[in-house]
């Protein structure tokens, strides 16, 4: 395949804009395409249609069909082709339409992509990004609303990240594309449309750094993706009742940056971990275990988890009962403070 470089790369944007996350990712992809002719996008209906969520809208017209590629309906083929392109020196970005559709490509991702650099003893890098819209709160059926991130975080050789804000989404997608390791970029689809400020000329937070997004003194609450907005809502409600919560956005799911989490727990003495995913053998479980190991003598209560239930994702009318909300987070906070 002969790829056509952009004839007139776009100038780097500047200033602060208010964008929804979908548009912020679009802007980040546009900048990556303009900055590096090796970057190309692949996925089902991402070109002419712009993807199910219109995240790639307009990019085919700007960069051409040889860099924004509409693929057949075959996730294993998409990822397998991306692996070959990475071996040839390109930096492919794959889109999976919905979280549940990633499983036809599971073998390619976990048995091949994650392990090939190790098989080559580090002499060959595989800079493949796989974009995965995930999570609930959109009134869809099970294979459109799941949170499968723990299945991939368990696999050595993969990096996993998930932005919670448009600003992070803009910068993190570019950092993921620049990574020489394969990155699964989990996009919380329920946060595609709420707007936020994006500093297009600022300095990005490192890709795998967690971050305190609200300071507090009594309980640390940790989450990622869409759950961060729920935790901030809970912190606002708790403040009205005189309770101070410190909110930490994980941002990176593999590796996890434990520094800010442990430092926060050493201050508050209590930790609640929240996630839309089921709690059994989960990223929430891993955080609870690791923080217990690293900050045991600072803890004044057991680490508590607030997660989705250990069941297949329920019908749309029941998802609000299944997914953690601010009330469930605050109930865990009350239990932690009761010790």
| Whole-Å CA distances, 113 to 60, 164, 274, 308 | 26, 26, 29, 29
247 burial (CB, 10 Å; 0-12 / 13-18 / 19+) is buried
* Ordered DSSP codes for 94-105: EE-SSGGGGGGG
- What gap in Å lies between CA 212 and CA 299, rounded to an integer? 19
How many angstroms separate the first and last alpha carbons of the chain? 63
Beta-strand runs (E) in 44-109: 68-70, 91-95
* Ordered DSSP codes for 196-242: EEEETTSPPPPTT--EEEE--SSEEEEE-TTHHHHHHHHHHHHHHTT
- What gap in Å lies between CA 213 and CA 245, rounded to an integer? 11
3-state SS class at 266: helix
* Peptide bond preceding 4 in cis form (omega within 30 of 0): no
Angle formed at CA 204 by CA 28 and CA 273, multiple of 5 degrees: 100
* Side-chain half-sphere exposure of 151, counting CA atoms within 13 A: 16
- What gap in Å lies between CA 6 and CA 62, rounded to an integer? 8
Q: Which residues are known catalytic residues?
A: 144
Angle formed at CA 223 by CA 221 and CA 228, multiple of 5 degrees: 95
Chain centre to alpha carbon of residue 261: 18
């Amino acid at each position: 395949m002969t790829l056509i470089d952009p004839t007139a790369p776009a100038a780097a944007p500047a200033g602060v804009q208010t964008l929804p996350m979908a548009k912020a990712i679009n802007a980040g992809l546009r900048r990556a395409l303009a900055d590096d002719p090796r970057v190309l996008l692949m996925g089902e209906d991402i070109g002419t249609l712009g993807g199910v969520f219109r995240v790639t809208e307009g990019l085919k017209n700007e960069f051409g069909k040889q860099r924004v590629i509409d693929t057949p309906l075959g996730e294993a083929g998409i990822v397998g082709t991306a692996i070959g392109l990475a071996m040839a020196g390109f930096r492919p970005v794959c889109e999976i339409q919905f979280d549940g559709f990633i499983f036809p490509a599971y073998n390619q991702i976990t048995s091949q992509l994650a392990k090939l650099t190790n098989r080559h003893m580090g002499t060959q890098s595989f800079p493949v990004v796989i974009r995965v819209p995930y999570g609930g709160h959109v009134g869809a059926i099970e294979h459109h609303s799941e949170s499968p991130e723990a299945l991939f975080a368990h696999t050595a050789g993969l990096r996993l990240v998930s932005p919670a804000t448009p600003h992070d989404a803009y910068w993190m997608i570019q950092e993921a594309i620049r990574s020489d390791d394969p990155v699964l970029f989990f996009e919380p689809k329920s946060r595609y449309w709420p707007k936020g400020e994006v500093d297009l000329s600022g300095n990005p937070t490192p890709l795998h750094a967690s971050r305190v997004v609200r300071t507090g003194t009594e309980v640390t609450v940790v989450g990622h993706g869409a759950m961060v907005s729920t935790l901030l809502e809970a912190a606002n409600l708790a403040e009205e009742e005189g309770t101070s919560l410190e909110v930490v956005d994980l941002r990176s799911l593999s590796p996890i940056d434990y520094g800010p989490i442990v430092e926060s727990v050493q201050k508050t003495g209590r930790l609640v971990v929240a996630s839309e995913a089921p709690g059994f053998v989960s990223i929430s479980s891993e955080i609870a275990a690791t923080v217990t190991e690293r900050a045991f003598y600072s803890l004044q209560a057991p680490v508590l988890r607030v997660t989705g239930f250990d069941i297949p994702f329920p019908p749309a009318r029941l998802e609000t009962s299944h997914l953690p909300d601010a009330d469930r987070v605050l109930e865990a906070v009350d239990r932690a403070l009761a010790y």
